[in-house]
Structures are given as C-alpha cells and as structure tokens.
C-alpha cells in the first residue's frame, strides 16, 4: 500500500487542476482494492508507530471513502482451487495407470479394452434413427448429439460461453465430416 501522503498529494493536485475544491480528488472516483490491514506501507527505518501513521487509515481522506466488502472470500477461492487440484491429480493418476497398463481391463470385451470410470461416462439414451449414421447416411454418429449437449450445456448463456469455456472442452472425432455435421446442428 502506498504512503497516506501519496493519496493526499493526489487529492490536492486533482482538486487544483480540476478547480474543484469542494469534492475529494476533484470529483473523480478512485477505486482501491486490497485489505489495508494486511498491506502496510514501507517506512525505511521506521518504528511501528511511524508505519501505522503512514497507513491510509490514518489519513483524514479515509472518512471520504466508501468501503465495499467482497462477498467471495479468499477461503472460498482456496477451497475451489484445492478441489480442482485434487480432481486434476486423480485424472493424472488415472492417465498414468492407463499408460503403464496398470488400470483394470474390461474382461467382457477383451484385454485390449479398459474399464472407463462411471463418472467419466456420458450416458447415451436409446438410439434415435435421426442421429444414427448407420441407419441414415450423412447423419451424426449415434450418441454424438448427447455428447455435444453434455459438453456444451448452457453455451447460449454469455456468462458461460467464454474463451476459457471453449479452451477447456474438446471432442475428438474420427473424421472432419463428423465435426462439420456436429457444428451445423
């Protein structure tokens, strides 16, 4: 955090330049963020009292500020990140087991097939003749609509349809024809 005198100088300068002595900062809005209790200004060779005196909280300007409190706490952010890290670690371990041949196989099919964890599956309802390329040539392969709907749910919502949303979702197909058919839907 900057020394309180820096804010006071900016206040006086803006009032002088804008010829507005009645409003703080010449009528301009200032937005500051952070926790003033955790970010102290640096006072070289200063005592704790001098450091406290250098804080914005010691300035008369503080009476003119409106304090807004964030509804989302750092603890909440930390919990979300920890959950994400655990999921990523579990998925990384799964990929390592598959790559090293240590993951369970699907004996019903053959030893060439692995058991895909249930939480990774997208259930496919009874096949629809409209969506089955084997029945109607040129149709999207069976289940592709379901996969697309699941992967891009809520895509019409501008809050969801961000660059990050598309970066984190990928559907691999065997041919570009399937990609083009899926995109036209």
pLDDT (tens digit per residue) in 2-53: 888 888 999 999 999 999 988 988 898 888 877 766 778 888 888 888 888 8
Same domain, residue pair 35 and 56: yes
End-of-domain residue from the set 101, 116, 131:
116
Same domain, residue pair 185 and 126: yes
CA 110 vs CA 40, 94, 107, 113: distances in Å = 65, 20, 5, 6
pLDDT at residue 138, rounded to an integer: 56
Same domain, residue pair 178 and 140: yes
What is the Rg, in whole angstroms, of the alpha carbon atoms belonging to the chain? 30
Same domain, residue pair 185 and 159: yes
Domain that holds residue 163: 122-185
Same domain, residue pair 57 and 79: no
Same domain, residue pair 10 and 55: yes
Same domain, residue pair 126 and 182: yes
Burial 132-141 (b: 16+ CB within 10 A, else e): eeeeeeebbb
Same domain, residue pair 184 and 126: yes
pLDDT at residue 93, rounded to an integer: 93
Same domain, residue pair 38 and 95: no
**Alpha carbons 175 and 138: distance in angstroms, whole number:** 12
152 or 51, greater pLDDT: 51
Number of structural domains in the chain? 3
End-of-domain residue from the set 43, 64, 85:
64
Same domain, residue pair 148 and 182: yes
pLDDT band at 85 (very low <50, low <70, confident <90, very high): very high
Same domain, residue pair 110 and 60: no
The token duo for 26 is 């010449």
3-state class (DSSP) for residue 120: helix
The owner of tokens 């304090």 is 67
Question: Cβ neighbours of residue 122 under 8 Å, at least 6 residues apart?
Answer: 143, 146, 147, 150
End-of-domain residue from the set 46, 64, 82:
64
3-state class (DSSP) for residue 102: coil
The token duo for 167 is 């970066």
| Interval 120-142: pLDDT, tens | 877 766 555 555 555 555 556 66
Same domain, residue pair 129 and 184: yes
pTM strictly above 0.75: no
């Amino acid at each position: 955090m900057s020394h309180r005198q820096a804010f006071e100088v900016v206040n006086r300068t803006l009032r002088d330049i804008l010829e507005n002595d009645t409003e703080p900062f010449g009528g301009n809005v200032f937005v500051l963020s952070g926790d003033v209790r955790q970010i102290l200004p640096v006072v070289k060779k200063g005592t704790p009292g001098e450091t406290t005196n250098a804080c914005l909280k010691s300035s008369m300007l503080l009476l003119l500020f409106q304090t807004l409190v964030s509804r989302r706490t750092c603890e909440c952010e930390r919990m979300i990140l920890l959950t994400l890290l655990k999921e990523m670690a579990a998925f990384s371990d799964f990929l390592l087991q598959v790559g090293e041949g240590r993951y369970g196989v699907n004996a019903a099919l053959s030893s060439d097939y692995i058991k895909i964890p249930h939480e990774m599956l997208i259930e496919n309802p009874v096949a629809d003749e409209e969506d089955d390329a084997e029945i109607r040539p040129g149709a999207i392969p069976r289940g592709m609509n379901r996969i697309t709907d699941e992967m891009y749910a809520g895509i019409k919502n501008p809050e969801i349809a961000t660059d990050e949303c598309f970066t984190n979702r990928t559907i691999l197909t065997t041919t570009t024809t399937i990609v083009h058919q899926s995109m036209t839907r």
